[in-house]
Amino acid sequence: MCTAAPAMAVPQSKLDQARTVKAQIDRLDNRVEYAAERYNVASSRHAALAVKQRRAAARFTKVKKRQQVVQRHLRVRATSMYRQGPMGFLDVLLGAQSFEEFSATWDLLKDLNTDDAEAVAELKTLRAEAKKARADLTRQERAAARQVAIMRANRRSIESQLAERKAKLSGLEAEIARLDAAEEAARRARAASFVSNSGGANFDSFPAPTRAPRSEVVDVAKRYLGAPYVWGAAGPNSFDCSGLMMFVYRQVGVSLPHSSRAQIGSGERVSRGDLQPGDLVFFGSPIHHVGMYVGGGMYIHAPHSGDVVKISALDRGDYAGACRP
């Protein structure tokens, strides 16, 4: 009778140690994932503010140019009045040959003065508004930039902790791999059981009119299986979770923001029972992770630092909803 060699057995203490360290790593992965989402939100906000600021600056420039035109016009008028002396306008009026000509000349001079006054008042108002708008947007942009800086610092801190924790895995790689494989096998078994128990009426059996080609977008996503997770990345060689969805959907003509929290508002909300391949699935409260449903109770996603784009069972306990872009 053959028995396993004692040397091949994994000491229980080592497995317990591996489980403890893996739990620590998993918690840190969630913190890094959440920080990455905050970073993406801040970056998107910063980009939007920058666009608004450029528009405000362009409007201010336009107003300023118009003001310069009016100022030149007023200088010419003032110079003319100075040269003519105080009797200039009176001479024009008294030179009229009839009452009708006098009346028309008087109305014209009044209109010219009124138009000039209105133009100057308008330009002053526009200039004040443009300056205020530009100042407000500059403050908002600086605030967003500070937020991005804070997010970057937060990410560096968390990733430093993550690296420290992973250093503790030295000598436990094989045990961790076994634990991961067992967990993934269990998740896949649960997903297969769910589909089987549904009597064949699984998620994929429902018709779904959509704007994006469903099979095409899933095929595109699968091309990037194995690509490494990098926070803030949006392809083509590395991704974070929302960056992967944004990059893939862009290739089928659908624009998505680089934020899982924003992406859930980028399409029709669908229930879990109505999921179709290509739908986006979201996790966390607040939302900080997103993937793409591929059918059969599975989804493709970029999980976290140290991992790669892969297909996993859709059985996370923090499932938050889904949408159809």
Distance from C-alpha of 71 to C-alpha of 64, rounded to nearest angstrom: 10
Place of tokens 């118009």: 66
Residue 246 CB burial class (10 angstroms; 0-12, 13-18, ≥19): buried
Report how far apart, in Å, the C-alpha atoms of 169 and of each of 18, 23, 24, 76, 259 are: 7, 12, 11, 82, 31
Please choose, from the candidates 200, 214, 193, 199, the residue with its C-alpha nearest in 3D space to the C-alpha of residue 270.
214
Residues taking part in catalysis:
241, 289, 301
Distance from C-alpha of 283 to C-alpha of 301, rounded to nearest angstrom: 11
Q: Is the dihedral of CA 112, 113, 116, 122 positive or negative?
A: negative
Distance from C-alpha of 318 to C-alpha of 283, rounded to nearest angstrom: 5
